[in-house]
Amino acid sequence: MKLEAFAKLNLSLAVTGRRADGMHELDMLMQNISLADELEIFPADAVSLQCEGIPADESNTAVKAARLFFEAAGIRGGARMTLKKHIPAQAGLGGGSSDAGAVLNALNEIYGAGLSQEQLKEIAARIGADVPFFLKGGCMRARGIGEILSPVRNACDFSYLLVKPEGGVMTGPAYAKYHDLPAVTPDIGTAAAALEAGDREAYFNAAGNSLLPAGAALCPEVGTLLEECMEYGASFAMMTGSGSCVFAVFSDAAEEERAYAAFLGRYAFCVRARNTKEAFRVIGP
């Protein structure tokens, strides 16, 4: 089975508290976008992964997802997986989590295991807090540590310019830095209502990211990029997740094209993307 595993943007993110176990409580709007990793998954006797540029061992979320799937399904089997990465790491785009969600869905189909969405969600949560989102995806409001999901109808047909500087931001240090800085808590309910109404300006006014000050402190290029996006005519620009990727929305296609051409040769990663209605797509047998 061949699949595309789509990246995500945090269209708004609020840190709302911290649990006794140290995990942070969140309220956020998550949106899948057309930037995608490519996966090929075939039944085999053992679990294996081929992928250039990143570890293909037990630390890889795709391998971890396969192992946990067979354990939960009670199936003696394996998966021969090939992963072609297009979603950069340490960007806040959820690439590893998206791969894991796609693997769980694919293996459930390939082996006819019949695991329910709730069962898959339990497995997904053992891999990472945001992996449950990638079982279905689209646009959702995520609460708790990211596992409490409710769909949001995003009527804003955004085109995004994504730009990532050379430096990345690891999630752990970003949350640690968050506590050293003044709190920023955007109103997620207002941002969600704006998306559902298709009101771009109301969304731009309401959206925010509690982790932006931390991400910009750890990777100063984030702040520079945000300023440059606005100078090139963006209507809105924000960091996604814990960074370091920035996304910008332009009202004028010509200004977006001008910014894209300017950033393309200067930054490590620069692509354009649109919303998708799902977390993954099957593109071949």
For the chain, list the domains and their CATH numbers. Answer: 2-152+276-284 (3.30.230.10), 159-274 (3.30.70.890)
Is 265 annotated in a binding site? The answer is no
**What pLDDT sits at residue 119?**
97
Residue with tokens 């998306």: 195
Residue 268: per-residue pLDDT = 82
> Strand 148-151 vs strand 78-84: parallel, antiparallel, or unpaired?
unpaired
> What is the residue-wise DSSP string for 177-217?
HHTTS------HHHHHHHHHHT-HHHHHHH--BTTHHHHHH
Q: What is the pLDDT of residue 207?
A: 98
Is 78 known as a binding-site position? no
Amino acid 241: pLDDT: 96
Known binding residue 98? Answer is yes
Would you please indicate which residues are annotated as catalytic (active-site) residues? 8, 130
pLDDT along the chain (285 residues), means of 10: 98 96 95 98 97 92 98 96 97 97 98 97 95 98 95 97 95 94 95 98 98 97 97 98 97 96 93 98 95
Distance CA 88, CA 98 (A): 12
Query: How many C-beta neighbours within 10 Å does residue 227 have?
Result: 11
Predicted local confidence at residue 265, as pLDDT: 84
CA angle 117, 6, 144 (to 5 degrees): 50
89 is in an annotated binding site: yes
* Global pTM value: 0.96
